[in-house]
Amino acid sequence: MPPAQAQAADEVAVRQFDIAGSDLDTALGRFGRQSGTQIAVNAEVTAGLSSPGVRGTFTVAEGLRRLLAGTGLEAVRDASGEYTLRKAPPAAGSTPKTLSAVQVTANQLGEISEHTGSYTPGAIATATRLVLTPRETPQSISVVTRQEMDDFNLTTIDKVMAHTPGVSIITYDSERTEFHVRGFGVQNFQYDGIPMERDSSYSAGNTLSDMAIYDRVEVLKGATGLLTGSGEPGATINLIRKKPTRDFQGHATLGAGSWNNYRGELDFSGALNEAGSLRGRVVVAQQDKHSHLDGYQRRTSVFYGVLEADLTPGTLLTVGVDYQDNDPKGSTWGGIPIYDSNGNFNKRSRSFNSGTRWSSWAQYTRTAFATLEHYFDNDWVAKLQLNHQINGYDAPLGSAGGGNPDPADGSGTSLWLGQYKGKTRANAADFYASGPFELLGRKHELVLGGSISERTWTNKSDGPNVGYPTSIADYYGWNGRIPEPDWNDPAAWHGENRETTRENGLYTTARWNLRDNLKLITGARLSNYKRESMRESGVLVPYLGAVYDINDTYSVYGSYTSIFKPQSARDESGSTLDPQEGNNYELGVKGAFFGGRLNASAAVFRLEQDNYAEETGNLTPDGGTAYRAINGVRTKGYELEMSGQLNEFWSLHAGFTHKVARQQGEKVSTLTPENQFSLFTTYKPGGRNGRLTLGGGARWQDKTWGDVYNPAVGTVKHTVDDYWLVDAMANWRFSDKLSASLNISNLFDKKYYTIFNWYSTYTWGEPRSVNLSVKYTF
């Protein structure tokens, strides 16, 4: 049943429980998922305790009593129907003491990370729709929680990805970044589990997402076709929105930072009626960010509103909207030419802005969503999720990025110019039912679902008016102060685009309880895809995983996952090539310590993409370029990760990743590092209730390289040296309601850059920046 069930219903309704003996925290998490209840606990109380488990049909109260047998704890229910876990009353004559409570809430998307104070997730559902702990999931997944975002001022998805082990970032220009995992760009995004594919060429808000409205960000690594359908095999990023709460809560945050960077945020949540059956939440954020780049600034506006309603004791309706506007001025388009006309490195200051003052790549998102879920008495749940999203852009762009400047007089460069207006309008629906079933004397879990989506991209673009000057007389004196052209070139190579993509599929997942310590997960998706001339029907995408529990702490796992990507390339007979197939093979070991408050994993992986299109040198029957399908990219590597609490006042999130990607024996994906390391940690010197929190982190990445154009010698390999970046933070809690945080990024002001070999340009990383914020909690 959903969290806001009525007390009377729970006292008579019964549930089927199947929870094996384990540490108490794990058992409580499973109990919350199987019963649909909220249980408030304190980590100090449950630390080191074990539960005998509970199997059979009981009321929630009786099931919880049996689960706690022998622990010395009891569950007390308040008038709203929420349970609080506390020590059992002491013997007569002593004074009872009730510990402060921390709310732990689970839903069909997993466990909410807000207010847990944790750097590690509880349960997650991104991989299979089954709500499983990280240790129970036979695939690598990294999660950045609400607490980590708050501690390190991770207000954008770019900053979150910089904290995520195994994710590398390539910067195209001031408004475009691309995330890479295991040698592939991440094109698959999810919002509350609903897929949304992005196009990095026409960025429209995905990589500028503000984090004010999200509870956590999950990165599922490897092929993810079971739930996403088509896409690249590197990873999927799932952004989980904040949820309304029964109790009133809220906060207001004001911050100021380097280069006139100002931000404000308001967040209110609580019940809207006396019974608590209607709950709402509103989040608004506004940021006015100037920059180390001359003449560049960006205003960001965010709104999020969501309502939850208990239509019946077992039926929950959620409806919500969100939007974000990103309005920049002085946008770059591409980066700085790597070489001057003499073939030497074209070193410009970190403040150099190649964009014109009017250049702007504005991006926006508009989303409306609804979810209806019903919990049955047999512990099954059915869920319907609807999503309508618009991602758009309005981009008049001008940048001094063409050519290679003459170091003597600054001549030899030209403007890149173009105007682009477009949007992607997407509608998606997903329905599934999930629950237990019995076979051969054991209880197993099953998911049956289907999804359908339609995305229509429209784009209109133009060039400058005829006669508009495009050459730059003095590149080294460039300040971007030129008039904007009239965008009306009838002979421009631009034009209008309209493209509709339709996908639908049926999927199923089963978790087979072969033994108490051995689980097998099988799954498959039958997909259909249509976009212009690309049509694929009945594509089977398999999923296979196994988890073996060595003991109460460690598990070993293996998995095979897949994904496909249709392509328009044709062979010499005129037939369209089969879809590219991405396959991920993974073996690993996972550990859950201190009742799941610390998770660790080590994995080796092999990722393959086949049916890659390669030119044959011949033509198709209608005169087009002919291709043949070859074995594509092969990536091998390993990953190490740890996240959570080492003790009650020391948290960390750390990881190391090694990967090598090859195509026909040659290394590829070299713009991203083969080795990278990250560690972020916070510590409370005064203990759990201390007022001061100190923290810091470091990121290191190996050298990267790519083939670029050098006017003196032609194509050359350009190498970027490895580098370290160090961050620091401090938080002081004046009272239970008021606190202040100081965050310093790039503490030692390291100079570093990334290259983009398509344009033969580079982009400087951000210098040291300081941010001070004050937060008042209601």
CA 177, CA 338: separation in Å to the nearest integer? 18
Q: What is the pLDDT of residue 202?
A: 79
Same fold, 14-87 and 249-621+633-777: no
* Edge-to-edge strand ranges of the sheet holding 167-173: 167-173, 176-181, 184-185
Q: What is the pLDDT of residue 665?
A: 85
> Exposed, middle or buried by CB within 10 Å (0-12, 13-18, 19+), for 767?
middle
Q: Classify residue 627 as left (phi > 0), alpha (psi -120 to 50) or beta.
A: beta
Q: What is the pLDDT of residue 614?
A: 77
Kindly list the domain boundaries of the chain, sorted by start residue: 14-87, 249-621+633-777
Q: What is the pTM of this model?
A: 0.85
CATH of region 14-87: 3.55.50.30
CA 52, CA 67: separation in Å to the nearest integer? 6
Residues of the chain with pLDDT under 50: 1-12, 90-104
In the numeric block, which tokens belong to residue 386?
A: 């609807």
Placement of tokens 């879990």 in the chain: 445
Contacts (Cβ under 8 Å, ≥6 apart) of 450: 430, 431, 432, 504, 505, 506, 507
In 516-566, the DSSP E strands lie at: 518-531, 534-549, 554-565
With DSSP H G I counted as helix, E B as strand and the rest as coil, what are the percentages for the chain, rounded to 5?
A: 10, 55, 35
Q: What is the pLDDT of residue 80?
A: 55
Fold type of domain 249-621+633-777: Maltoporin; Chain A (2.40.170)
Relative orientation angle of helices 60-67 and 24-35, to the nearest 10 degrees: 170
Q: What is the pLDDT of residue 91?
A: 41
